[in-house]
């Protein structure tokens, strides 16, 4: 059964900067289905985090969603009052961030920060929240949970902190968990622990996960479906196996080819020349064309639409055929 939990349609986000408005997310559309894990990959600056912050309604003060539809279950997110949105956040949609070092408030104890969410959304008493908090810490595999509740963030290692973040995010049984590069700052052995943890949690709770990353390894480990973003746009969308087997968009192809493989040593890596364009000065037509091996004069003129090559696979390119 495919049942959409979140549906994003033509999302556009812009920031007010000194050079006027800069649009960094330009019509992103995708769905997150119940129970699925959706991965968003893409280069730095391609708008992954901005998309997720827009969903959460916590864009920085100079940013705004200026077009598009955001639906969560039956709610139109863009028309919620501030209060309604607040009740959604942390409760039905939860989020974990990249830097576990800075994502926790350094002056409050772990316990305080955990209890805060529970007391807010479930109206628990302090004692109840404490109990539930300890339970959550145990769920994410923190030994000595009771002691950890009394600790301050700096007294924990990076991996532990990320576990705390996960516990916090899951404490209200959210329907959707957005994880923005949850393991980028961690060492590989710790990353493996966290990825395993996420996978196990998903199996248990049927939470939908939207994971943002630029590590295709992490994607391959975790995701059911993948969205590839480039310069504020979705350039390809496919189920995991299909994407790895049959990447269509030249950017996706390049991305895959340029990762050094741990077990397949080549002499020279494939590389995508050039750099990601500046959002304030986007190329005309297809945004990838200056770096694209297939790019020609046609690509400078037409901004390709996202076309479906199969029911589940779509791409934004006029050169490659499905």
DSSP label at 261? B
Between residue 16 and residue 75, which ones bind another protein under the rule CB under 8 A?
Answer: 18-19, 43-44, 53, 56, 58, 60-61
From the list Mg ion, another protein, ligand ATP, none, pick the one residue 188 interacts with, judged by a Cβ distance below 5 to 8 Å according to partner type.
another protein
Please count the residues of this chain forming the interface with another protein, following the rule CB under 8 A: 96
Q: For residues 4 and 158, what is the distance between their CA atoms, to the nearest angstrom?
A: 34
Tell me the closest approach of the beta carbon of residue 255 to ligand ATP, in angstroms: 13
Q: By the 8 A CB rule, do 5 and 73 touch?
A: yes
Among 24, 46, 49, 139, the residue binding Mg ion under the rule CB under 5 A is 49
Among 76, 126, 259, 312, the residue binding another protein under the rule CB under 8 A is 259
Residue 268 binds another protein (CB under 8 A): yes
Which residue number, 77 or 318, has a Cβ lying nearer to ligand ATP? 77
Q: By the 8 A CB rule, do 38 and 210 touch?
A: yes
DSSP label at 283? P
Nearest residue to 253 (alpha-carbon basis) of 304, 216, 280, 300: 216
Q: For residues 96 and 163, what is the distance between their CA atoms, to the nearest angstrom?
A: 10
Residue 252 binds Mg ion (CB under 5 A): no
Which residue number, 132 or 287, has a Cβ lying nearer to ligand ATP? 287
Residues 89-128, one symbol each (x = binds another protein by CB under 8 A, - = not), give xxx--xx-x-x--xxxxxxx-------xx--xx-------
Residue 300 binds another protein (CB under 8 A): yes
Residue 312 binds another protein (CB under 8 A): no
Sort 112 into a burial class: Cβ within 10 Å, 0-12 / 13-18 / 19+: middle
Which run of H or of E encompasses 54? Answer: helix 48-56
Residues 190-219, one symbol each (x = binds another protein by CB under 8 A, - = not), give xxxx-xx-----------------xxxxxx
Residue 179 binds another protein (CB under 8 A): no
- Crossing angle (nearest 10°) for helices 158-170 and 188-205: 20
Among 157, 173, 206, 310, the residue binding another protein under the rule CB under 8 A is 157
Tell me the closest approach of the beta carbon of residue 105 to another protein, in angstroms: 4
Residue 150 binds another protein (CB under 8 A): no
Span from 47-55, 168-176, 213-221, 284-292 in contact with Mg ion (CB under 5 A): 47-55
Contact residues for ligand ATP, defined by CB under 6 A:
15, 17, 24, 42, 44-50, 60, 62-63, 214, 279
Which residue number, 144 or 187, has a Cβ lying nearer to ligand ATP? 187
Tell me the closest approach of the beta carbon of residue 18 to ligand ATP, in angstroms: 10
For 82, residues 6+ apart whose C-beta sits below 8 A from its C-beta are: none
Residue 12 binds another protein (CB under 8 A): no
Contacts 24+ apart (CB under 8 A), 28-32: 28/68, 28/229, 28/232, 28/233, 28/234, 29/68, 29/234, 29/306, 30/227, 30/234, 30/237, 31/4, 31/5, 31/6, 31/7, 32/4, 32/5, 32/6, 32/7, 32/176, 32/208, 32/210
Which run of H or of E encompasses 159? Answer: helix 158-170
Which residue number, 45 or 247, has a Cβ lying nearer to ligand ATP? 45
From the list another protein, ligand ATP, Mg ion, none, pick the one residue 279 interacts with, judged by a Cβ distance below 5 to 8 Å according to partner type.
ligand ATP
Calculated CA dihedral for residues 30, 36, 42, 47, nearest 10 degrees? 50
Q: Could you list the residues that contact Mg ion (CB under 5 A)?
A: 49
């Amino acid at each position: 059964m495919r049942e959409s939990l979140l549906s994003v349609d033509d999302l556009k986000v812009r920031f007010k900067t000194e050079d006027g408005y800069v649009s960094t997310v330009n019509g992103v559309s995708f769905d997150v289905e119940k129970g699925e894990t959706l991965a968003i990959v893409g280069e730095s600056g391609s708008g992954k985090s901005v998309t997720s912050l827009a969903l959460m309604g916590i864009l920085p003060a100079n940013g705004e969603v200026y077009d598009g539809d955001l639906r969560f279950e039956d709610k139109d997110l863009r028309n919620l009052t501030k209060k309604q949105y607040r009740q959604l956040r942390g409760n039905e949609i939860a989020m974990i961030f990249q830097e576990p070092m800075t994502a926790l408030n350094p002056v409050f104890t772990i316990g305080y920060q955990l209890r805060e969410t529970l007391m807010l959304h479930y109206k628990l008493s302090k004692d109840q929240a404490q109990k539930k908090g300890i339970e959550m810490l145990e769920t994410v595999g923190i030994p000595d949970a009771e002691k950890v509740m009394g600790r301050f963030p700096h007294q924990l290692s990076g991996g532990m902190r990320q576990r705390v973040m996960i516990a916090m995010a899951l404490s209200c049984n959210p329907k959707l968990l957005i994880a923005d590069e949850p393991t980028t700052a961690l060492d590989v052995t710790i990353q493996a622990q966290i990825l395993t943890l996420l996978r196990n949690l998903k199996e248990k709770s049927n939470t939908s996960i939207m994971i943002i990353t630029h590590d295709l390894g992490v994607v391959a480990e975790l995701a059911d479906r993948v969205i590839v973003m480039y310069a504020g746009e979705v350039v390809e969308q496919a189920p995991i196996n299909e994407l790895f087997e049959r990447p269509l968009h030249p950017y996706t192809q390049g991305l895959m080819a340029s990762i050094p493989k741990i077990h397949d040593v080549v002499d020279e890596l494939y590389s995508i020349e050039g750099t990601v364009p500046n959002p304030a000065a986007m190329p005309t037509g297809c945004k990838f064309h200056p770096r694209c091996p297939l790019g020609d004069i046609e690509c400078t003129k037409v901004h390709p639409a996202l076309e479906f090559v199969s029911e589940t696979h779509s791409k934004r390119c006029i050169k490659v055929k499905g």
